[in-house]
């Protein structure tokens, strides 16, 4: 069997390294074309002048829109608690009406019937109808809910007492003020005519 053997040469290898920019393969040839700014046409001039004309109005609209949005947000923040309370009340009423106590619907029926009876009994003016129906409904409500009726009656009495004392005390004080003798001097030590002469 025969084989060929190669011997390693003792010659030094060339250690020079080349940069990629030095290789002709990576060179970018200079383009003979160059970019020139196009001339501004009539349409572009018209659009630019229109933009300059509209810009103040557009900024004004932006400011007004932002102001309106702030107002809407402030209004929403003030209305939001009321909406949340109403929503919770509606949910509570819905849950209550889904599973009411056994005496709820009969009491509502009696109260409603007493209101209709008051409208029937009070023939004549609208004021009579309002007073009769409201009075009968309040009477039947107080029969079914006596604790609530007593607390409402106490609050009403306190209100009327407060209003009565105001309506009695204020005219008495006004009468006492009218009873005082009126002095003829506007300032201490100065008579009415002297003040007029000194001001001239």
Whole-model pTM: value is: 0.38
User: What gap in Å lies between CA 12 and CA 130, rounded to an integer?
Assistant: 123
Residue range 124-163, pLDDT digits in tens? 788 888 888 888 888 888 888 888 888 888 888 888 777 7
Q: Count CB neighbours of 114 within 10 A.
A: 19
Residue range 169-191, pLDDT digits in tens? 555 555 555 555 555 444 555 55
Phi, psi of 190 (to 5 degrees): -120, 130
Closest Cα partner for 113 from 146, 153, 141?
141
Structure tokens at 190: 């100065």
């Amino acid at each position: 069997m025969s084989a060929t053997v190669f011997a390693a040469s003792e010659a030094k290898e060339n250690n020079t390294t080349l940069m990629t920019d030095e290789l002709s393969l990576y060179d970018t040839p200079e383009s003979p074309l160059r970019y020139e700014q196009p001339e501004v046409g009539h349409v572009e001039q018209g659009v630019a002048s229109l933009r300059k004309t509209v810009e103040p109005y557009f900024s004004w609209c932006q400011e007004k829109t932002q102001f309106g949005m702030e107002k809407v947000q402030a209004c929403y923040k003030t209305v939001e608690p009321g909406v949340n309370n109403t929503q919770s009340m509606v949910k509570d009423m819905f849950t209550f009406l889904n599973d009411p106590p056994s005496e709820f619907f009969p009491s509502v029926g009696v109260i409603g019937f007493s209101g209709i009876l008051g409208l029937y009994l009070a023939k004549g003016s609208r004021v009579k109808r309002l007073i009769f129906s409201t009075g009968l409904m309040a009477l039947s409500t107080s029969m079914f809910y006596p604790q609530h009726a007593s607390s409402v009656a106490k609050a009403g009495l306190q209100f009327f007492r407060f209003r009565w004392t105001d309506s009695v005390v204020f005219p008495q004080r006004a009468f006492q003020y009218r009873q005082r003798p009126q002095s003829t001097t506007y300032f201490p030590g100065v008579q009415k005519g002297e003040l007029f002469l000194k001001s001239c």
